[in-house]
A and B are shown apart, each in its own frame.
Chain A
Amino acid sequence: MTRAFRNISRRKIRALLVVIALGFSIAIMISIPAGATANQASTLSLTENLSNTITQTEATINQTLTQIDASLSSGFEGFGFRTSGIGNFTPGQFGGGNGGNGFTPGQFGGGRNMPGQFGGGAFGMGGTTAMNETLYADISNIENVASVVPILQVSEGANQTVEMFGRTFTRLIPDYVIVGVPLNSSIENYPVLPTNITSGRTLQSGENGVVLLSENNTLFFEAGVGDIIELLGETFEVVGVHGSSGVEDRTTLYMSLSDAQSITNNTGYVTSLKVFAKDSASVTDVANAISSLHPELSVVTAQQRLTQLQAMQTTYETALNNAEATLAQTQSVAFEEVGVAVAATSLIVLFLMLYTVRERTKEIGTLKAIGFSNANVMSQFMLEGVLLSLMAGVVGIAISSVAAPILSGLLLPAASQLGSGTFTGMMATSNSATTTSVSLTPELVLIALGAAVLLGALGSLYPAWRASRTRPAEAMKYE
């Protein structure tokens, strides 16, 4: 053992280079399976998130089948109903009616972005524009309308410029979404506020200066029930926290409509009207009546939303299938690469040990002359090879603990693109970017060391055998 160590340390630079080369090879062996596993995990979690989101949204919509959403889509360019309104609104700034691709057009109205019902239009609804509440008072007079609940929804966050289809869009990355709901008797009769309160309580009629945060919001504001938070210069007391029940709920906080209008400079304006029909049978009639009364409004019934959602689900499923196919491909690539790394490791050991045996022929001859048996000589060289690759195993673990994500990113095709490309784009509001993380588990470390020992033994088997077969008389002649 000591001899093996000393022999290795005899040629320090060579040993170092070989250990590093082997280390990389072993690091690849470690990183790639870890990377592949991480990719799999991230795809799985993506799938899970998506199906949860869709299920939750479906459930919410099913609960509210009598609901009709009426809003001004930003697609109605130049309608100009707010020219007399607040701020620097001009029709041309609506961005050309790009509703549906997930980008809210630039600044308008009171200087606030007002994305669609589904948070940035991820669900194809397009941006929504503020509408003067008083202009739509007549909707409540339509036959079979049970109630009209005006809603103001304003996203707060930072703008990000995105190039797409050769054009530049400003995309809002929302930190949180304020939803103002009239806190009157209608909130008790109609499902306007979230129902799954995870702590505290929901908003009650007649309240002001209070907010109901989402779980996501509590992290953003670092606040919980009973805390006071500041929103756009006003302070609010957190009375409750709701769990999300759909895409739009994850970053949404609820407060009274009047509070929302006042802090966002939208007094008198709302972004949508939730119209409730008396029963589900009359939903279509009511929707038609709203459309004929106000042709500028985008009227969507819960049923239509459900249909849209289902269509989208199909799209997602196709995409997921593609992702899974890519994943399978990734795994076969991973398998091949690990195979190459394994072969490389044993070959490096093989060549090094062959070289060493050749270089030390005379020494082998001496050892045999003074009485070393073939087995003695063989085990000595085997030990050296194994020791060397064990050192390389340690180096490999060190390398991969630092560079595993880089290595697997370099060597594995698509998984990170899976996580950050199309999917996260689609899921902008529901999930922050999924990152590929590669973790070194103790099992992986053990496997790596085991593999190093095994490959070292494998690689040095033939050279050691050659050494043991050396005829001492020949070896002594060798200079």
Chain B
Amino acid sequence: MRVDASPTQEHACLTRSLTPVKTVALDPEHDVEITVGDQALVALRRFRRSKALANFDWVEALYKTYLTGIAGIAVVLVLSAAARDDRLGPAAVADVKADGPAWVGVVLALAIAAGLRSGGRGGPLALEAAEVRHALLAPVDRGRALRAPAVRFLRFSLFLGVVGGAIAGQVAFRRLPGDEIGWVAVGVAVGVLIVLSFAGAAMVASGRRLSHLWVDLAAIAVLGWALSDALRGATTSPMTVAGGIAVWPLDLDARDLLGVVPLLALPVLGITGLAGVSIEAAERRSGLVGQLRFAVTLQDVRTAVLLRRQLTQEGARRRPWFRVGGLEGRGDARFPTWRRDWQGFARWPLSRLARLGILGTGAGLCLAGVWAGTSALIVPAGLLVWLAGLDAIEPMAQEIDHPSLLQSYPEEPGVVRIRHLAVPLLAMMPVGLAGCAAALVFGEPILVLQIGLPTVAAAALGGVCGAAVSVVRGAAKPGALEQMSPEAAGSVKLVAAAIPPLLATLGVAPVLVARLIVDRDGPPAQGVLAGCAFPLAAGLMAVVYLRMRERARTWWTRQLEVSMSGSSIRDTARREAEAIVDARVEARAATKGSRRRGPARTEAPTADTTIHETTGER
């Protein structure tokens, strides 16, 4: 028996009709028509779009476009300038032609593996919570309901792929023979393939509800296959075949398109299987992704890290990898932060360890590229080290997450923060060693030892310091920059956001400095040592910031208040002083006039004296 609420309270049974019913305008102004089920969904989306367009602030959008455009042009110019290195010789070009497809295949495999893992946790779509509750719980075809968000996601992914690919094509053109348009076109094609592989694999895994175990196994298999091709110099996987497109300006082979077919099949398969998406996962993601976007908007890196962990269901291990001794020892009492940090690391999940290994490997490969002559690769290397640092700095971040605990310790917060740097620095060493191992693929072992090992320590310092500054800085405070003009405030925010990754990038600078010195016929060891000045400077700046942050902020706030409103404070003080003088003069006159008790014991201060006392000036 079916019931519905009706004005007459007579609950007549409604029979569901599959035939379209008469259309009714949802909003007469927008003339949107609705029939049943799926059509209602389509009509609602159209209605919301038209409503959003009606409320759209074109001036604001144009301003944002203007800012984004300027920032984008600046990035491209900087990268292009940084990539303006010498062209590769014939031998190196031959190496790129021979090995390039396999390594691009590894990147494609990484995208597929990441997509599978994302899909295993309900990704990649992030729906509105209301969409999950009202639309996906309604008797409509879920596949059709999810198609529009999936297409939107693919569209955005394609945009990222095109932009990233174009930049990569530009960088390749600077060093390799061939025309610019060819390299940019090839870069765009590969960028698009990468994002489509990610999105497609994720949709396949979520639509088919593959278990964590299966997606992990599939991810390992795909990655292993591509890596095996790269290391053996073979061409067996479709990723390696498709990777051949990346060197088309050097060696055009139409057979490479055969590798593209299975990669393009992934998003098609994904979209057709969307109906199977788990609503539980969709609902969980809807809440978390909303918060994640908000955190990113506020540049709150720590919150973004925590939410991403929730999204990937990455929790601490119930059983630690190793036990750190009891708290009753003498040494324990002297180094509580040291012990606490190791206890935290002992509960790291395997996935986090694996991620750090991958980040280290990526950074190592980028630095191998820097050593080989592509200076621009120092930027992604620095970013990867910073990301690794954000995981390594977890114990300190936990302190920041619990400010009441931090304030309750009988130590200054700055001191506690600095004590939390030691263990993360050590924990970053294996990450750097993973990078060295990856660099061995391209470099001579002696050189890797000479350049790589000192860089491991430097990168650990840069990564940890950059991450620590990010975490301690926290979210941008609304209103903190309100006294500045919008342009100035925007620039300050941009610089503040760029400083932590910059510190991490300084950590990998020794490789670039060493290469520049070797280019001038200097010894590599001397170059690395000279380059270590950058991470040391970064470390010093970070330590000062972590130690003195509260004092510096207090001082700055006071200076700002005095400079911005000093005149008004002085005016207020003058008025108060004059009022006091008037009151005392009146009181003295009244005393003299009425009771004739003799002269007052103290003289009223002059207006000038009172002003200085009130404002604290001496």
Q: Do A and B come from one complex?
A: no
Binding site for A on B (CB under 8 A): none
Binding site for B on A (CB under 8 A): none
